[in-house]
């Protein structure tokens, strides 16, 4: 990955102009999805179609195959985390999100996912910490701000 370009885009996520932030977000996701070329992208797209068709086991198998073939492909781990979260496997999803962040510490999507998993498991302190970490990268993220408030209310 071109870390200099990513760093410019990450700075754009902090821009007060919503259009600048949205463009930067799209470009970052594009880079992350295409990190491993056409093979990785096609596997992710295939798994997404299977997931949309409720073929969970097959979608998981595609992602496991991709992770085994390219274990440093953060987005493959992130997509599997999404799949696990969607089927209520919060601990598995959390483990995959943690792997994404290990591979890509600025992956705001995985940090958000970690927060969702912690919240679903009732660990609101950890959820707030994860949402705040995501906000460090995307300070204008209304969803993370909202989820911090919701988790804070559940602490009382």
The tens digit of pLDDT for each residue in 104-114 reads 999 999 999 99
* Domains contained in the chain, CATH given: 3-155 (1.25.40.10)
pTM metric for this prediction = 0.94
**C-alpha neighbours within 13 Å on the C-beta side of residue 50:** 18
Separation CA 104–CA 33 (nearest Å): 13
Burial profile 76-98: b = 16 or more Cβ within 10 angstroms, e = fewer: bbbbbbbbbbeeebbebbbbbbb
Chain CA centroid to CA 49, Å? 18
Burial category of 17 from C-beta neighbours within 10 Å (exposed 0-12, middle 13-18, buried 19 and up): exposed
Read off the pLDDT of residues 133-150 as tens digits, 9 standing for 90 and up. Answer: 999 999 999 999 999 999
The packing angle between helices 74-86 and 18-33, to 10°, is 100
Q: For residue 52, give both structure tokens.
A: 């949309």
The helix or strand, by DSSP H or E, that contains position 126, with its residue range, turns out to be helix 124-137
Which pLDDT tens digits describe the chain residue by residue (156 residues)?
A: 557 889 999 999 999 999 999 999 999 999 999 999 999 999 999 999 999 999 999 999 999 999 999 999 999 999 999 999 999 999 999 999 999 999 999 999 999 999 999 999 999 999 999 999 999 999 999 999 999 999 999 996
- Around Cβ 118, how many Cβ atoms within 10 Å? 22
């Amino acid at each position: 990955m071109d870390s200099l370009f990513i760093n410019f885009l990450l700075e754009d996520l902090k821009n007060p102009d919503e259009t600048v932030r949205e463009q930067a977000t799209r470009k970052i996701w594009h880079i992350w999805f295409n990190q491993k070329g056409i093979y990785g992208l096609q596997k992710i797209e295939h798994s997404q179609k299977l997931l949309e068709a409720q073929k969970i086991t097959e979608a998981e198998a595609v992602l496991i195959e991709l992770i085994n073939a390219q274990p440093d492909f953060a987005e493959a781990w992130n997509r599997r985390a999404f799949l696990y979260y969607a089927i209520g496997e919060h601990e598995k999803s959390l483990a995959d999100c943690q792997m994404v962040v290990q591979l890509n510490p600025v992956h705001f999507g995985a940090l958000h996912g970690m927060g969702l998993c912690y919240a679903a498991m009732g660990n609101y302190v950890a959820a707030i910490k994860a949402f705040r970490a995501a906000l460090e990268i995307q300070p204008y993220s209304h969803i993370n701000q909202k989820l911090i408030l919701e988790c804070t209310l559940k602490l009382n």
